[in-house]
Amino acid sequence: MRKNEQAKVILHEDCGPGYRLLVLDAPQVAADARPGQFVHVKVPALEASALRRPFSIFNAEDGRLEILYKAVGRGTFALNGVRPGETVEVLGPLGRGFPETCRGTPLLVGGGYGVAPLYFLARRLLQTPKLPNPQTPKLFLGGRTKTDLLALDRFAALGVEVFAATNDGSFGTKGFAVVPLDAELARLRAAGADFELFTCGPDGLLKAVSERAVSLGAPGWISVDRHMVCGVGACYACIQRTVTGNARCCVDGPVFKAEELAW
Amino acid sequence: MRKNEQAKVILHEDCGPGYRLLVLDAPQVAADARPGQFVHVKVPALEASALRRPFSIFNAEDGRLEILYKAVGRGTFALNGVRPGETVEVLGPLGRGFPETCRGTPLLVGGGYGVAPLYFLARRLLQTPKLPNPQTPKLFLGGRTKTDLLALDRFAALGVEVFAATNDGSFGTKGFAVVPLDAELARLRAAGADFELFTCGPDGLLKAVSERAVSLGAPGWISVDRHMVCGVGACYACIQRTVTGNARCCVDGPVFKAEELAW
Amino acid sequence: MVKMDVNLGGLRMPTPVATASGTFGYGTEYVGLVDYAKLGAVTAKGIRLDPWPGNPMPRHAEVVGGLVNAIGLQGTGVEAFLSKTLPAYRTVSKVPLIANIWGGSVEEYAAVAARLGDRVEAIEMNVSCPNVKAGGHTFGQDPNVLFEVVAAVRKATARPLLVKLAPNVPSIVPYVKACEDAGADALSLINTIPAMVIDIERRVPVLANRTGGLSGRGVHPVAVKLVYDAHRATKLPILAMGGVYEAKDAIELLLAGATAVAVGTATFTDPGVVAAVHDGIVAYCERHGFASVSDLTGNLQG
Amino acid sequence: MVKMDVNLGGLRMPTPVATASGTFGYGTEYVGLVDYAKLGAVTAKGIRLDPWPGNPMPRHAEVVGGLVNAIGLQGTGVEAFLSKTLPAYRTVSKVPLIANIWGGSVEEYAAVAARLGDRVEAIEMNVSCPNVKAGGHTFGQDPNVLFEVVAAVRKATARPLLVKLAPNVPSIVPYVKACEDAGADALSLINTIPAMVIDIERRVPVLANRTGGLSGRGVHPVAVKLVYDAHRATKLPILAMGGVYEAKDAIELLLAGATAVAVGTATFTDPGVVAAVHDGIVAYCERHGFASVSDLTGNLQG
Ligand SMILES: Cc1cc2nc3c(=O)[nH]c(=O)nc-3n(C[C@H](O)[C@H](O)[C@H](O)COP(=O)(O)OP(=O)(O)OC[C@H]3O[C@@H](n4cnc5c(N)ncnc54)[C@H](O)[C@@H]3O)c2cc1C
Ligand SMILES: Cc1cc2nc3c(=O)[nH]c(=O)nc-3n(C[C@H](O)[C@H](O)[C@H](O)COP(=O)(O)OP(=O)(O)OC[C@H]3O[C@@H](n4cnc5c(N)ncnc54)[C@H](O)[C@@H]3O)c2cc1C
Ligand SMILES: Cc1cc2nc3c(=O)[nH]c(=O)nc-3n(C[C@H](O)[C@H](O)[C@H](O)COP(=O)(O)O)c2cc1C
Ligand SMILES: Cc1cc2nc3c(=O)[nH]c(=O)nc-3n(C[C@H](O)[C@H](O)[C@H](O)COP(=O)(O)O)c2cc1C
Ligand code: FES
Ligand code: FES
């Protein structure tokens, strides 16, 4: 059940230039959180009537809720100033997330802060006891430069193999995350192995991954990032075009099946 | 010359229930300040577009500016939160203050926070070297109850005799400040002595003092409190009716001569 | 015990607090987050005869003190509303439902109202949408056109009929009169104020639709003025909305002449506003000795 | 070096930043606090033929994101303006002065304009005041009345003539056309939006005049929309105002179609806004490679 919870800030720390990790004590929201879902956050430093801001659930564990975010505008810069001990109002968990089962190898493809829901997904995929053909997920992570590749240590701790790509070549393959992905896809297909694609990041990446899922006939789970107002399906601000018409990212998504999306 | 100065908070302390003293490092504003003038304060905790709030200059000395204020609404409650070391923008000194000379005994009549400009006035009157018939001012101070009588120690340090009155009789005469004032006026008239009246406080008090000044033919200097917008004469929000028409409190006042006022 | 129920032109509301159309989906979206026991009515998102896709994205821009939106009336058509949305609402809520309707022609308005029959407790007409046949001006722009469309809907429904008026008029009075003459039971005031936000770095309007409507905190004093003007011009009861964020805002609207109020944009930030407004009105009535919330309507001194 | 001077319907402004009428007194009040070197024009407070006392107090109420005022056009008459206020202004400032005029009748408007002759650099007509002869509706409410009063003033003055329009209209276009047809040289947009604030504890309107006009931050998106609409309907240059608090706000108005902008309510809180807006426009033009500020006017992509 989604809740509007007063959550105390436990930790709020830098994790690379422009990125921050916010850890909240939010037992009610954390209890029901599933990977790919998001929370709608009231930024305390903004005026009381300012809209909320949506963030993926980076992790939910032992009553704690973790958010990994990038400061890009008024709301996120204001969020930067929140200190441990202060209270943040979080509404969630919201939206439809990723499935927590996978046939074959889960291929996770992230760009920038789009990595956030993929970490929680990786954890859950590894925990799900009765995965058919259980496989450790692989992560294909892209960013402009080295410091845009987030949470690498956390994935390493899970035993997830990471294939990194940076636009400037400062870490991993030079180029986009699809470069190492395509290599892996070729390998898996040659081996006749099953796989599913899970992705979150900028629209360009989502399109590239969707195309591959559709053309290869593999399940593709695409988490779309649209500016939101209500976060609960009431306002119709957060539209994603689909083959059946306009869908709301906040309740019909943010995760859509690749073949449903119309760009 | 009036200035819009970034002033650092030196001290911000309680002085009775609801009242606070704010001491600012504001050398430019303080340098030219005269008693009865005011400063227009941008309250840092309010949204950036909120209007300023006007406060009398309680004291200006050695580059410091002192304000004595009561929390009554949104702006003053927000001002309460300002901490030493923080910066407050003050525009001033503004308006026409009291004369700094006096023929005969200066009779200062204050109500509530209206005492604020009278302290600065008392200091200046005592400092002015060439006062004709120099006399130590006397203060007639009224308030609802004992704790509304402010700055008594500061007046005592100047050697100013204080005649207090409280509505509930908890300190001094029971009743309004005009009760002890009338006694003194009778005494001075019997002695044929000169005096002038200087007052600041609620409208009821100002009217009572004005009436006495006019009927006794003594100079009456009345500081009027009107809600302000610009503070510099540009908006015509702060009107006081006078015998010559609508005057602006912020530039034509806040101090008016008793006989000019039309209530 | 303050008597909180009000009669809004025949619509019996258990409390004077409603939700505003377009900000509360079809009434099911906020279940569990908003206290329905404090609600006097739910106004559903606008519907027309056929489903409508609405505007391209982006559909909103946040501004200081408010929101500019150009959702473009995306909505299910009346058939899906009756067969799916409405039954779903009835399973979760006993609160009276106001359907918000619109159309591209006078005939469409009447057809939607007729089709709704008595399945909803009241009908609110949104007349701030382009009149396709009359060259794109909105129905609410001209008092004569307004009369025509309201009269047509009046014939098509026996349910309490509210007309929702636009705020951007020199005087609300001719529009109020047109509604009165055409047989409306109540007025809704105000719809959003036409507005625009430009992204100066890209030199484009932020909204795909270029312009939109301003709602939220900042429009409140404008709403109070229009409710005040309308109330002085008519005996029709008023459902007032526009920047209600706390009880004080709602009470201002009631004192200006409203019979009930609706919370809109505020719910997006804080779903608790509905309950806080309700409770704050009760506390105010108790403190000021009003036995009934309807004693507040238009109750200004002097 | 960005070319900052603009031509506003014949008024040569050294910069595109002006002050808005009623918020800058008669131009002398902010000397020493506002950087006059950054100003392209000063608009004086409204004057009519005779002195006018304005409304009783209180005349203003602060609201979130703005100010509701009912000063009521207190002002010196035209004779005192010419003999005292204007000479005082000339001694402190070389910035072009726009006189803002109003009246209770068409004849009074024309008489004030005629009396001003060429003593001011331009005349701005405030048409949001009641037409005494025509039963209290404002001159700006009806395009026909607007045409009449603008045409009369046009005959009375050879100076650049600006008409200041009210924002509370269904469409600005007929008003723009009326000004155009009547021979106006430029438009001023927007005046305040009618609004009201109620003191719920005392159950009275806060303003002695009951209602007033909303200005400040919150009205900005409404101003952008109206400037955009007006610019598409006419070639007349526009002096835009409404919630300009920072350079971004001014640039939005320029891109929407304004030739120059005016700062109003913002100056009350921060007299530095005028200079910040000026400098911010220069920086924006440099950053985006615009040689002249007039390149911004209406320069939206697509
Ligand atoms: C489901 C979901 C999950 C998300 N998860 C994360 C996460 O885990 N970590 C993270 O860092 N971020 C995440 N985001 C993005 C995050 O919500 C935004 O970065 C944040 O809202 C920006 O707020 P702001 O006030 O800082 O920026 P804003 O000032 O709101 O603007 C940020 C940028 O968006 C643009 N913008 C503003 N409004 C609109 C609009 N209406 N339409 C289009 N563009 C607009 C601005 O121009 C600017 O470039 C997620 C978003 C969604 C929808
Ligand atoms: C020249 C001058 C000197 C002053 N000196 C001092 C001083 O030394 N110390 C001090 O404590 N105070 C002083 N004041 C008063 C002080 O400015 C106010 O108390 C302060 O502005 C209140 O701000 P606020 O935001 O706290 O209250 P607000 O929320 O603005 O309201 C305070 C009270 O005023 C009412 N009010 C608000 N707006 C208006 C309006 N437009 N018209 C009428 N009533 C209104 C409210 O209803 C409320 O009762 C002075 C005022 C003036 C004009
Ligand atoms: C996102 C959004 C969508 C809206 N959709 C509609 C609608 O479909 N029909 C309608 O009559 N009004 C619609 N409105 C207007 C609101 O019902 C309300 O009149 C307005 O927002 C003012 O109230 P507020 O300031 O409390 O939001 C919408 C408003 C918003 C913010
Ligand atoms: C206190 C005040 C007084 C005003 N007086 C006048 C006036 O005399 N004539 C006029 O045309 N506009 C007047 N206006 C309107 C402003 O010139 C301006 O159009 C409006 O305030 C919007 O701009 P802003 O949001 O920057 O203040 C006044 C506005 C305020 C706030
Ligand atoms: S954000 Fe309101 S419907 Fe999605
Ligand atoms: S406060 Fe503006 S004229 Fe006095």
pLDDT digits (tens, 9 = 90+) for B56-108: 999 999 999 999 999 999 999 999 999 999 999 999 999 999 999 899 999 99
In this predicted structure, the answer to whether residue A221 has a pLDDT above a threshold of 60 is yes
Other Cβ atoms less than 10 A from the Cβ of D144: the count is 8
Which top CATH class is B3-94?
Answer: mainly beta
Average pLDDT in chain C: 96
Is residue A257 within 8 Å of A221, Cβ to Cβ?
yes
% of chain A exceeding 90 in pLDDT = 92
Does residue D129 carry a catalytic annotation?
A: yes
Name chain B contacts of D59, Cβ cutoff 8 Å. 236-237, 239
A50 contacts C268? CB cut-off 8 A: no
Residue A251 CA, closest ligand 5 atom number: 4
Rounded CA gap, A229 and C66, in Å?
Answer: 12
Distances in whole angstroms, Cα of residue C35 to Cα of each of A229, C40, C281 = 20, 11, 15
Name chain A contacts of C201, Cβ cutoff 8 Å. none
Q: Among candidates D144, D145, D146, which has minimal Cα distance to D165? A: D146
% of chain C exceeding 70 in pLDDT = 99
Of the residues B236, B238, B249, the best mutation for testing chain D's interface (the one with the most D CB atoms within 10 Å of its CB) is B236
**Residues D229-260 pLDDT 10s:** 999 999 999 999 999 999 999 999 999 999 99
Of the pLDDT bands very low, low, confident and very high (cuts 50, 70, 90), residue A133 is: low
Of the residues D60, D141, D220, the best mutation for testing chain C's interface (the one with the most C CB atoms within 10 Å of its CB) is D220
In this predicted structure, the answer to whether residue C149 has a pLDDT above a threshold of 70 is yes
In this predicted structure, the answer to whether residue B131 has a pLDDT above a threshold of 60 is no
Name chain A contacts of C45, Cβ cutoff 8 Å. 234, 236
**Which residues lie across from B222 on neighbouring strands?**
B199, B256
Name chain C contacts of A230, Cβ cutoff 8 Å. 23, 25, 29, 267-268
Q: What is the pLDDT at residue A134?
A: 62
Task: Kindly state if the Cβ of B55 falls inside 6 Å of ligand 2.
Answer: yes
| Ligand located closest to C74 CA | 3
Is residue A77 within 8 Å of A90, Cβ to Cβ?
no
Of the pLDDT bands very low, low, confident and very high (cuts 50, 70, 90), residue A242 is: very high
Q: In which order are the strands placed within the sheet that holds C186-189?
A: C17-19, C260-263, C238-241, C186-189, C161-164, C122-126, C97-101, C42-43
CATH node for A105-260: 3.40.50.80
C252 contacts D197? CB cut-off 8 A: yes
Q: Among candidates C158, C128, C157, C162, which has minimal Cα distance to C145? A: C128
Distances in whole angstroms, Cα of residue B61 to Cα of each of B24, B37, D11 = 11, 14, 48
D225 contacts C195? CB cut-off 8 A: yes
Instruction: Read off the tokens for B210.
Output: 């004005």
Residues on A contacting C at a C-beta cutoff of 8 Å: 1-2, 4, 42, 47-52, 89, 91, 226-227, 229-230, 232-237, 239, 245-246, 251
Other Cβ atoms less than 10 A from the Cβ of D201: the count is 11
C33 contacts A235? CB cut-off 8 A: no
Rounded CA gap, B174 and B179, in Å?
Answer: 8
Rounded to 10 degrees, the C-alpha dihedral C133/C137/C140/C144 comes to: -70
* Strand positions, DSSP E, D75-132: 97-101, 122-126
**Residues D182-200 pLDDT 10s:** 999 999 999 999 999 999 9
Q: Which of C17, C19, C21 should be mutated for ligand 3, with most atoms under 8 A from CB?
A: C21
Find the range with the poorest average confidence among A142-146, B182-186, C208-212, D131-135: D131-135
Q: What is the pLDDT at residue B216?
A: 95
pTM score of the predicted model: 0.96
**Residues C248-269 pLDDT 10s:** 999 999 999 999 999 999 999 9
> How many angstroms separate the alpha carbon of residue C160 from the centre of ligand 5?
30
Q: What is the pLDDT at residue C302?
A: 76
Provide the angle, in degrees to the nearest 10, between the axes of the packed helices D173-182 and D220-233: 50
Q: Among candidates D54, D32, D30, D60, which has minimal Cα distance to D42? A: D30
D248 contacts C195? CB cut-off 8 A: no
Is residue D101 within 8 Å of D45, Cβ to Cβ?
no
Rounded CA gap, A200 and D75, in Å?
Answer: 62
Query: Quick one: DSSP state of residue C139?
Result: G
Rounded CA gap, B40 and B54, in Å?
Answer: 4
Q: What is the pLDDT at residue D65?
A: 87
Q: Do domains A3-94 and A105-260 have the same CATH topology?
A: no
Q: What is the pLDDT at residue B132?
A: 57
In this predicted structure, the answer to whether residue A254 has a pLDDT above a threshold of 80 is yes
Of the residues C63, C144, C175, C200, the best mutation for testing chain D's interface (the one with the most D CB atoms within 10 Å of its CB) is C200
**Which residues lie across from C214 on neighbouring strands?**
C68, C193
Distances in whole angstroms, Cα of residue D179 to Cα of each of A191, C131, D185 = 77, 27, 8
Is residue C250 within 8 Å of C227, Cβ to Cβ?
no
Q: Strand A220-223 vs strand A195-200: parallel, antiparallel, or unpaired?
A: parallel
Is residue D293 within 8 Å of D16, Cβ to Cβ?
yes
Find the range with the poorest average confidence among A99-108, B32-41, C31-40: A99-108
Q: What is the pLDDT at residue A25?
A: 98
**H-state helical runs in A191-253:** 203-216
Domains belonging to chain C, first-starting first, are 6-57+75-196+215-296 (3.20.20.70)
Distances in whole angstroms, Cα of residue D25 to Cα of each of D193, D245, D276 = 20, 19, 20
In this predicted structure, the answer to whether residue A68 has a pLDDT above a threshold of 60 is yes
In this predicted structure, the answer to whether residue B135 has a pLDDT above a threshold of 90 is no
Is residue D16 within 8 Å of D261, Cβ to Cβ?
yes
Averaged pLDDT, B32-53: 95
Nearest CB neighbour to B52, from listed D22, D66, D269: D269
Q: What is the pLDDT at residue A129?
A: 65
Q: What is the pLDDT at residue A132?
A: 57
**Residues A166-190 pLDDT 10s:** 999 999 999 999 999 999 999 999 9
CA of D185 to nearest chain B CA: how many angstroms apart? Answer: 27
Rounded CA gap, C14 and A11, in Å?
Answer: 45
Rounded CA gap, D25 and B238, in Å?
Answer: 13
Averaged pLDDT, A64-79: 96
In this predicted structure, the answer to whether residue B43 has a pLDDT above a threshold of 90 is yes
**Which residues lie across from A22 on neighbouring strands?**
A12, A67
Is residue C36 within 8 Å of C89, Cβ to Cβ?
no
* Strand positions, DSSP E, C24-84: 42-43, 60-63, 66-69
> How many angstroms separate the alpha carbon of residue A30 from the centre of ligand 4?
51
In this predicted structure, the answer to whether residue A23 has a pLDDT above a threshold of 80 is yes
Q: What is the pLDDT at residue D250?
A: 98
Instruction: Read off the tokens for C143.
Output: 């008092």
Q: What is the pLDDT at residue A217?
A: 95
D228 contacts C255? CB cut-off 8 A: no
Place of tokens 């399906």: A233
Q: What is the pLDDT at residue C76?
A: 87
Of the pLDDT bands very low, low, confident and very high (cuts 50, 70, 90), residue B263 is: confident
* Strand positions, DSSP E, A150-261: 161-166, 173-174, 195-200, 220-223, 239-242, 245-248, 255-257
All structural domains of chain B with their residue ranges: 3-94, 105-260
- The catalytic position among D4, D49, D82, D129 is D129
Which residue's C-alpha comes closest to atom 1 of ligand 3? A235
Rounded CA gap, A52 and A89, in Å?
Answer: 9
% of chain B exceeding 90 in pLDDT = 92
Q: Among candidates D116, D191, D204, which has minimal Cα distance to D158? A: D116
CA of A118 to nearest chain C CA: how many angstroms apart? Answer: 26
Chains that touch D (3 or more CB pairs under 8 A): B, C
Per-residue three-class SS string for chain B = CCEEEEEEEEEEEECCCCEEEEEEECHHHHHHCCCCCEEEEECCCCCCCCCCEEEECCEEECCEEEEEEECCCHHHHHHHCCCCCCEEEEEEEECECCCCCCCCEEEEEEEHHHHHHHHHHHHHHHHCCCCCCCCCCEEEEEECCHHHCCCHHHHHHHCCEEEEEECCCCCCEECCCHHHHHHHHHHHHHHCCCEEEEEECCHHHHHHHHHHHHHHCCCEEEECCCCCCCCCCCCCCCEEEECCEEEECCCCCEEEEHHHECC
Averaged pLDDT, C283-296: 98
